[in-house]
Structure 1
Amino acid sequence: MKKKTIAIDMDGVLADFESQLIDHYNTAYGTSLTKESIQGLSEEEAFKERDLLFKVLNKDNFFRTLPVMQDAVESVRELQKNFEIFIVSAATEFPVSLAEKVAWLGEYFPFIKWENIVLCGSKRIINTDYMIDDHCKNLDYCIGKPIMFTAFHNVNQTHHLRVNNWKEAVAVLNETL
């Protein structure tokens, strides 16, 4: 029997993008943003200096040094027993991130085969049974069942099934078996 498929986003889902972005942005701009202070804000509201934000995101090693989300490695390994996992990242907006993301995955998720890594511009083409992502702009086009991973910018969004952490994600997906 063919396994069901899951597309899993990287930034904000597997990798703690929020913490890294706040640290780098604060250092570059002299601000004192915290995870708490940006809850419920859009990315544009939280990071007002857009030119600076793009400089931070295009900085060498920004994506390569992202921390791993708590329980992500163990949870993906667990899900892999019953699902085919694809790591899907809309990475082409920041070309420097492409090699860094592949290297990051090789370090933290070496059990994900290279052919199950999809670095793209738009996720509208992704056709999996489930998609775990923190952005509604990706989940709204999901062909399968969208699962929203909580992030500062989506806490006020309610139109997708929400999970707050990897333990919840595993529980929700295991219920579908």
Structure 2
Amino acid sequence: MKKKILYIDMDGVVADFDKALEYYDSEINKMNHENDSNQATIRNNKVDVICEANEEFFHQIPPIDSAIETVSQLFEKFDIYFLSTPMWSAPHSFTGKRIWIEKHFGEMASKRLILTHRKDLNIGEYLIDDRICNGVENFSGTHIHFGSEKFPNWEITAKYLINNN
């Protein structure tokens, strides 16, 4: 039986981007960037400065709780690809993401990283992403909004995927 294609975003889904930011700026995640456009602009500028200045940033991000174990198990049931948007202004983010995937998933994830700013151009059944941008809103399959009320963590997300496979 052919496995269904499952795309998994990196930052905020398997890699704890916000936790990594706190190492450089302990106040950055306290900003109300969800509802305040001024705070969002300030936060985004700070994120850019941090990421552009630290070439090792992207391969030193800690994993999200139970992400590595859960995704490793999902490899048995799905044809998994990591679908991530690197920072154009931080070219080392391209390489850093590749290093991160190999460090945490090893050979099982070899040649399974797709870096793009248009996630909707990929065809598959599922896309797990914590945001609705970079084409996620037009993805032709099912968007699983990781971190949302419906999919708050990997345990619930994995149950949904297995039950709907």
Q: Percent identity?
A: 27
Contact residue 33 and residue 39 of structure 2 kept, 8 A: no
Aligned residue number for residue 106 of structure 1: 102
Contact residue 128 and residue 144 of structure 1 kept, 8 A: yes
What do you get for the CA RMSD once the two structures are aligned? 2.3
Deviation of the 1:131 alpha carbon = 0.2
Aligned residue number for residue 79 of structure 2: 84
Deviation of the 1:122 alpha carbon = 2.0
Match of 1:141 among 104, 116, 138: 138
Deviation of the 1:49 alpha carbon = 5.2
Cα distance in 2 between the residues matched to 1:92 and 1:121: 9
Identify unmatched segments of 5+ residues in structure 1: 27-31
Aligned residue number for residue 151 of structure 2: 163
Query: What TM-score results when the alignment is normalised by the length of structure 1?
Result: 0.81
Tell me: CA distance 1:34–1:91, structure 2 relative to 1, closer, same or farther (3 Å): closer
Query: What TM-score results when the alignment is normalised by the length of structure 2?
Result: 0.86
Match of 1:56 among 40, 50, 56: 50
How many correspondences in the alignment?
Answer: 162
Contact residue 3 and residue 83 of structure 1 kept, 8 A: yes
Tell me: CA distance 1:140–1:49, structure 2 relative to 1, closer, same or farther (3 Å): closer
Aligned residue number for residue 71 of structure 1: 66
Identify unmatched segments of 5+ residues in structure 2: none
Aligned residue number for residue 29 of structure 1: none
Deviation of the 1:42 alpha carbon = 6.4
Contact residue 44 and residue 50 of structure 1 kept, 8 A: no
Cα distance in 2 between the residues matched to 1:2 and 1:42: 45
